[in-house]
Copies of this chain bind each other. A is one copy, B any other.
Amino acid sequence: MRFATDRIQAFSDGVFAIAITLLVLDLHVPPREEGKSLLHELGREWPSYSAYVVSFLVIGIIWVNHHQMLDTVRVVDRPALFANLALLGVVSAIPFPTRLLADYLTAGWDGSVAAAVYGSTMLAMSIAFSVLWLVITRERAALLAEHLDAATARRAVLRFGVGFLVYLAAIALAFASAPAALVLHGLIALYYCFDQLRTPAPV
């Protein structure tokens, strides 16, 4: 049995939308205490805000890419369905490493551990995304819309490889400096944003 992509998209959109919105639950309101300035306390929460912004961008971009990928196919079969479920599993888990990184960003070695966990989640997401792409494009004739030719598919796989290397670098950087690793994740996300923006629209 095959599934129309619009049902998969609807369920996936739900998971993306919830994961991206649940991030806000980890922005802590400092407890009201005598002799403490709220402005100062809020200022100390910068790791939470940074982690929030980066994870929001990351999930947002995966959503855009996921969307575009599913728009190129008419139906998905069972293996694609489960590959998609694996990707959603990683996406829905993102609030956890985000929280972890926010809480431990300035904690020395533990901060590095937290940043490495965050980077590993991104790597897992990137692998799950590539697997989904390979599963979806493996049956060219039956599944693909005509406008996706072999060259495009190959270029995509190449880009995935670069993605893996970058995420591996971010994991390595975590052990030098957790904040630097978070900055790198932010830069990767921004790169993908602008890359998306300048790609010519073939329609």
Residues of A near any B CB (own CB < 8 A): 1-3, 7, 9-11, 13-25, 27, 29, 32, 37-39, 42, 52-53, 56, 60, 63-64, 67-68, 71, 77-79, 81-82, 85, 88-89, 92-96, 99-100, 103-104, 107, 109-110, 113-114, 117, 193, 196-197, 199, 201-203
Contacts and interface: CB of A to CB of B under 8 A. Distances in A.
- Interface residues of A: mostly helix, strand, loop or mixed? helix
22 contacts: A1-B201, A1-B203, A10-B10, A13-B14, A14-B16, A14-B18, A14-B21, A17-B17, A19-B24, A21-B92, A22-B22, A27-B96, A29-B100, A32-B107, A38-B113, A60-B88, A78-B196, A78-B201, A79-B197, A81-B196, A82-B196, A82-B197
How many copies the complex holds: the figure is 4
A1 B99 contact: no
A22 B20 contact: no
A42 to B, nearest CB: 7
Residue of A20, A37, A63, A100 with most partner-chain B CB within 10 A = A20
